[in-house]
Chains A and B, each alone.
Chain A
């Protein structure tokens, strides 16, 4: 008689949760970086991802660029969009009330969704790349998710090293601690804000490349990632990059394991319930202090 010591499907759910956590952490990093440095929440962050996904689709499937070039172009394009968003939309309201800044980026969200609907139509599209699943010890793991997880992790390590080792990265961390004296260091706060916005955009572009391997593209796809990214950031402590990283993995486990025990939708219900409870207990998030 054999005793089952563990449930392989539960293990699969845990592993899938970890893979999802990697993507959520990447999404949260971009939003946290922007908030931590510029003190503005890009409510339209996921719409930048949507534009990035469309750019991969058009470059690869319509203009027949090799996928690698389409990905590279996507990252550069969304980075440029991030910088543009700062210069055109955020800079004029930098001194305004936080609620106004929130509403402005919310306006950009609807603007980008409407433009995408007009330009690209409401049809679901996909880039037609289907990656297989791997069978590992009785578990089925999606190769697309494994790639997404590894690249997201590599992207986060690259951002960490940039922030930790380079002069510009150090300036980005410094400016979030004391904006007013940056000119005394020879640093123009304006330039750092544009650079940070471009970096946040590049992270959204990278996320777009990874998500386009797993999801169909449509103008409202941002709604699938935007709210959850925001909740992960708040759960970890808005602006706290380490907090966001931890929160992403906690959230992903609720979704994945909760979805395994009950139904997929229940995973989200449990995750949001957990979020609400944490907000009562620590309104500023797990690692928040700001």
Chain B
């Protein structure tokens, strides 16, 4: 579904990604794991065209993404849940969800998808008239994921969904991600919480200082001696 071949990118003279190649197949859930500053967020921002790749090619369902402006990426079926949620704090929960379904094609199916999101996150229905800025961290993450689902995406990009949340909330968020994967969504998730995310996804890539260092099934990576020593403290 999504293919990256030898993608490099950066900010000004600082290069954050070097020759990154990866693939996400339809129906798969894939994680990109790695330490802070490895370039994981940059990778998702390149896929969403929020920053331009300096070289390499990206394609979605065989269609090259070069020349596609950022605001048209979601129309190709890629919804991005950004780092730190980035909800509109003064808009209500329901208005945030409405923004997620802004595209004309999504507006026609607003009621149906709203029902789906509320079924997935009943808490959002309770809080629907509340400004998103007043939600707890975990609720904000639900709202941000719900907002992305409102566009009816084929591919969901999740940037550090567990960041800044209490351990018990992190458990709940990963439970939800597992359910979303179970709903048949294709998911690309970027995480520092390696132990948790590898229990949820099918495959993973290890990104270190902007380069893919390792890839394989989640079970393989969990069993890898290097990862256990460097990241899991075992």
Report which A residues bind B (CB closer than 8 A): 167, 170-171, 173-174, 177-178, 180-189
**B103 to A186, Cβ gap below 8 A?**
yes
Q: How far is the CB of B130 from chain A (nearest CB, A)?
A: 15
**A183 to B91, Cβ gap below 8 A?**
no
**5 A-B residue contacts at CB 8 Å?**
A167-B107, A173-B95, A174-B91, A186-B106, A188-B71
Binds A, one of B72-80, B201-209, B223-231: B72-80
Q: A167-B107, A174-B99 are in contact. Are A183 and B88 (CB under 8 A)?
A: no
CB contacts (< 8 Å) of B72 on chain A: these are: 186
**A184 to B48, Cβ gap below 8 A?**
yes
Q: How far is the CB of B215 from chain A (nearest CB, A)?
A: 27
When each residue 85-119 of chain B gets 1 if its CB lies under 8 Å from chain A and 0 otherwise, what string results? Answer: 01011110001001110110011000000000000
Q: A174-B88, A177-B89 are in contact. Are A183 and B102 (CB under 8 A)?
A: no
B141 within 8 A of A: no
Q: How far is the CB of B73 from chain A (nearest CB, A)?
A: 7
CB contacts (< 8 Å) of A181 on chain B: these are: 82, 86
**With the chains together, A173 CA to B89 CA distance in Å?**
11
B26 within 8 A of A: no
**B75 to A177, Cβ gap below 8 A?**
no
B216 within 8 A of A: no
Which residue of B69, B98, B100, B107 contacts A183 across the interface (Cβ within 8 Å)?
Answer: B69
CB contacts (< 8 Å) of B98 on chain A: these are: 167, 170
- Chain B interface, number of residues (Cβ within 8 angstroms): 28
Inter-chain contact total with CB atoms closer than 8 Å? 63
**B50 to A173, Cβ gap below 8 A?**
no
Q: Is the interface of A mostly helix, strand, loop or mixed?
A: helix
B60 within 8 A of A: no
Q: How far is the CB of A129 from chain B (nearest CB, A)?
A: 43
Report which B residues bind A (CB closer than 8 A): 48-50, 69-75, 79-80, 82, 86, 88-91, 95, 98-100, 102-103, 106-107, 147, 151
**A184 to B90, Cβ gap below 8 A?**
no
Q: A184-B74, A186-B102 are in contact. Are A170 and B91 (CB under 8 A)?
A: yes
CB contacts (< 8 Å) of B151 on chain A: these are: 186
Which residue of A170, A173, A180, A187 contacts B71 across the interface (Cβ within 8 Å)?
Answer: A187
CB contacts (< 8 Å) of A185 on chain B: these are: 71, 74, 99-100, 102, 147
CB contacts (< 8 Å) of A188 on chain B: these are: 69, 71
CB contacts (< 8 Å) of B99 on chain A: these are: 170-171, 174, 185, 187
Q: How far is the CB of A102 from chain B (nearest CB, A)?
A: 26
CB contacts (< 8 Å) of A173 on chain B: these are: 88, 90-91, 95
**With the chains together, A187 CA to B147 CA distance in Å?**
14
**With the chains together, A177 CA to B95 CA distance in Å?**
13
Q: A183-B48, A186-B103 are in contact. Are A178 and B71 (CB under 8 A)?
A: no
**A183 to B82, Cβ gap below 8 A?**
no
